[in-house]
Amino acid sequence: MVIKQAEFVKSVADTNFYESSFPEIALVGRSNVGKSSLINFITNRKKLAKTSSTPGKTKLINYFLINKSFLLVDLPGYGYAEVSKKEKTNWAEFLEVYLKESKNLKCVYLLLDIRRTPTNQDEQMLNFLYFYRIPFKIVVTKIDTLSRSQVNDHLIIICNKLGITKNDIIVSSSQDKKGIDELLNSIESFVG
């Protein structure tokens, strides 16, 4: 797949989700895992999705129309310590409603930072996807921050923690432009 067109469509702050007939590919992960950077990376647009070094900036569901044929859906990050317990609960409910009720959701890409051991929240998200039989792929981000041997060691830790194999993971780096072909081919397999 080649992405020739990408545009921001809409943000929503509640469960009045954007309705369309386009298939949806959702990106989910902890705060500051690199969802916005990944969107900019695969669309080859530097500022399509707003990036920030401050975790917890994405508090909305953001929709991006890709090639006038499917939507990339940037979901709020979870696990950010600086927000209130009430706000964390609201985000969790918001995510759950979207994931369970979206009629056009084809796949969820669960993003994990290569430098971090998966958290309980990452495991809960994975278990949620398994339980509701929502198709998913795991994308490990920021591999440019470690040496090749460190990447391998950290992938083993991630696999052991989540009970998966390296074949279940797409490794990527928006900095070094790694993993784009595998990621785009994977997305294409879900949206046609």
Structural domains of the chain, with CATH = 6-111+120-141+169-191 (3.40.50.300)
Q: How many CA atoms lie within 13 A of 187 on its CB side?
A: 28
Mean pLDDT in the chain? 88
CB 9 within 8 A of CB 61: no
Grouping H, G, I as helix, E, B as strand and the rest as coil, residue 137 is strand
The answer on pLDDT for 54 being more than 60 is: no
Task: Quickly count: other Cβ atoms within 10 Å of residue 174's Cβ.
Answer: 20
pLDDT band at residue 93 using 50, 70 and 90 as cut-offs? confident
Which residue, chain included where needed, has tokens 């051991």? Answer: 117
pLDDT band at residue 70 using 50, 70 and 90 as cut-offs? very high
pLDDT at 91: 63
Beta-carbon contacts of residue 168 (< 8 Å; ≥ 6 apart):
137, 138, 159
Query: Which residues lie across from 99 on neighbouring strands?
Result: none
The answer on pLDDT for 76 being more than 80 is: yes
CB 84 within 8 A of CB 56: no
What share of the chain in percent tops pLDDT 70?
88
Angle between helices 120-131 and 148-162 (to 10 degrees): 60
pLDDT at 88: 55
Query: Which residues lie across from 138 on neighbouring strands?
Result: 110, 169
What share of the chain in percent tops pLDDT 90?
65
